[in-house]
Amino acid sequence: MLILFNKPYGVICQFSPHEKHKTLKDYIALPGVYAAGRLDTDSEGLLILTDDGRLQHRISHPRYKEFKTYWVQVEGEPEEQALAALRRGVDLGDFITQPAEVRRMDEPAGLWPRTPPIRERKAIPTSWLELKISEGKNRQVRRMTASVGLPTLRLIRYAVGQHTLDGIAPGVWQQL
């Protein structure tokens, strides 16, 4: 079984109860499925769940180079040197990232509002990037954009490999 879930902001990627946040159990009432990878509580978007341990490992393990595509709203206007740094790989102190595919993009069409909304500052513009990586270490995308001077305001995982969020509203899942 393969489940595609559009995880809302503020939801924790676990099935056990949490004192402050909703969890996967609040949205998915299927026994025996587990997340293949994770998304931080303050990130949104595609989460894949399965009841197949081998498939779960293949999707989530960096050895298999399953590309993950993120839509990233950042503070500021990205200059080419910042994008070039992301394309080369960024030294985050504890590791150097693999090169990312990155491009500027318009705000995604049909994007749902985030609750709560991001903080906006009148004097500082925001921009959108599409970022593709095959890793997925803790808070990696946020750390990468911050290291090149573009703090992440909103982070949405749009795709994992060939699977995308297309047609899946926040808080909704579909079985493939």
What's the average pLDDT block by block, 10 residues per block, for the chain (176 residues)? 96 92 94 90 96 84 82 96 97 94 96 89 92 89 97 97 95 95
Instruction: Pull the structure tokens for residue 126.
Output: 């925001």
Q: What is the CA radius of gyration of the chain?
A: 16
Q: Is residue 75 located within the same domain as residue 156?
A: yes
Report, as residue numbers or ranges, the catalytic residues: 40
CB 155 within 8 Å of CB 7:
no
Q: Is residue 84 located within the same domain as residue 106?
A: yes
Residue-level pLDDT at 137 = 83
Q: Is residue 110 located within the same domain as residue 136?
A: yes
Residue-level pLDDT at 15 = 92
- Dihedrals φ, ψ of 47, to 5°? -125, 130
Residue-level pLDDT at 88 = 97
Residue-level pLDDT at 56 = 84
Residue-level pLDDT at 53 = 86
CATH code where residue 106 lies = 3.30.70.1560
Q: Is 30 buried (19+), middle (13-18) or exposed (0-12) by CB count in 10 A? A: middle
Residue-level pLDDT at 162 = 93
* pTM, to two decimals: 0.95
Residue-level pLDDT at 120 = 81
What confidence tens digit (pLDDT) does each residue in 31-68 have? Answer: 899 898 889 999 999 999 999 888 888 877 777 778 99
Q: Is residue 104 located within the same domain as residue 136?
A: yes
CA distance 170 to 172: 5
Q: What is the DSSP letter of 124?
A: B
CB 40 within 8 Å of CB 62:
no
CB 44 within 8 Å of CB 114:
yes
Residue-level pLDDT at 55 = 83
Q: Is residue 54 located within the same domain as residue 75?
A: no
Residue-level pLDDT at 156 = 98
CATH code where residue 25 lies = 3.30.70.580
Domain span at 57: 1-66+162-176
The label of the residue with tokens 């047609």 reads 167
| Count of structural domains, the chain | 2
> How would you classify the pairing of strands 44-50 and 152-160?
parallel
> How would you classify the pairing of strands 163-164 and 68-75?
unpaired
